Amino acid sequence: MPHLKEQDNKPMRNSPDEIDLMVVFQYFGSLFQRILNRINYTIRAIRNHAIVVLGCIAIGMGLAYGLYAITKPFYNSSMTLMLANIRNEFIEEQLLKLSSMIDEGNVEAVAERLDISPDAARSIREMKFSNLDDNRIDEDSVLTGSPFRIELSLYDRELFESMEPALTNYIENNRYFAKQKRIKQKQVEDMISKLRGEITSIDSLKTNSVEPRGPVNGFVYGQPIDPTNLFRESITLYKEQVQLEASLERLDNVEVVSGFIPKLRPTGPNMLKYLAIGGAIAFLIGMIAALNLENKK
């Protein structure tokens, strides 16, 4: 027992794998002190050479204002389109090609695709587009017939009125979309023509049954004529005809939900943003110059 007590009273030593926290604290303390000394040295250098730093800032902001003055003002606006029962990725691909031509400055191709003048095509600064329901569907699902937003940046604000039908026709005149539209239109027009013929026949029967001419025994093909059923059938066919005629007005693959709004004031460039960026860059240059001058003392 006494031997065990002596062994328990011996101080325990740290193993080589254990980290001395005091060394870690001393390291971070010295690192923080070095950073603080460097900051103080930089502040002292800027204070001692304030004229150089302020001169750089003045020159930088002057250059930024000059760049702002020569930058052409532009106007941003957006329009929302509703697609028919077609996949949104088809529209994305079509608009992506148009956006690429705009970014490359291919004025002739843009003017041809949108059926506008080259001057109008040259006024297009940028075009962006997005699906409004992109975050509402699963990753493995196909987005169909979703609202679509097109954001347009123009140098001439008067062109927004003409760009709305130009973009709509560009999407609508896609060969695949145009073919599907013609097929649907032919089907609906044929059905309307058939309904009109049937309605005309029923109207003739109604006239003969109400105001018969000559000997009429009240039978058609061996069946008695019921004017009430004729009127009911005529109304039903007429409702179908009206619905089909209304569907003809909705055969477009793209419909404008909200168009571009007229802009009075330019969206950019922003003078304060130019001055802030120019001043910040000039301050960094002035600080580096002040440090170099301080080191030469």
Output the six-digit token pair for 284: 């960094």
The answer to whether residue 94 scores a pLDDT higher than 70 is yes
pLDDT, residue 98, reads 94
**Residue indicated by tokens 């979309």:** 177
Q: Which of 258, 265, 259 is nearest to 74 (CA)?
A: 265
User: Residue 294 above 80 pLDDT?
Assistant: yes
pLDDT at 262: 85
Residue where the block lists tokens 């003409």:
162
pLDDT at 288 over 70: yes
Percent of the chain scored above 70 by pLDDT?
Answer: 78
Q: What is the pLDDT of residue 210?
A: 56
DSSP string for residues in 107-167: HHHHHHHHT--HHHHHTEEEEEEEETTGGGS-TTS--BS--EEEEEEES-GGGHHHHHHHH
| Lowest-confidence pick of 104-118, 195-209, 214-228 | 214-228
Domain ranges of the chain: 22-70+272-295, 75-174+257-267, 177-206+222-252
Of the pLDDT bands very low, low, confident and very high (cuts 50, 70, 90), residue 44 is: very high
Class of domain 75-174+257-267: alpha beta
Average pLDDT over residues 98-105: 93
Which whole number is the average pLDDT over 39-67? 94
Query: Quick one: pLDDT band at residue 60, thresholds 50, 70, 90?
Result: very high
List the 124-131 sheet strands across, edge first.
Answer: 124-131, 148-154, 75-83, 254-258
| pLDDT at 226 (0 to 100) | 64
**Residue 219 confidence (pLDDT) above 50:** no
Over residues 75-85, mean pLDDT: 87
d(CA 228, CA 11): 114
What mean pLDDT, rounded, does the chain reach? 81
Judged against a pLDDT cut of 90, whether residue 92 lies above it is answered with: no
Pairwise CA distance, residues 83 & 98, whole Å: 18
pLDDT value at residue 48: 92
CA 262/CA 87 separation, integer angstroms = 30
Residue 120 vs residue 245, higher pLDDT: 120
pLDDT value at residue 220: 47
Instruction: Kindly indicate the confidence band of residue 257, based on its pLDDT and cuts at 50, 70 and 90.
Output: confident
User: By three-state DSSP, how is residue 239 classified?
Assistant: helix
Q: CB under 8 Å, gap of 24 or more: what pairs does 56-60 form?
A: 56/282, 56/283, 56/285, 56/286, 56/289, 57/279, 57/282, 57/283, 57/286, 58/282, 59/282, 60/278, 60/279, 60/281, 60/282, 60/283, 60/285
What's the pLDDT at 155? 95
pTM to 2 decimals?
A: 0.64
Helix 271-295 / helix 21-48 crossing angle, nearest 10 deg:
100
Q: Is 94 exposed, middle or buried (0-12, 13-18, 19+ CB in 10 A)?
A: middle
SS3 102: helix
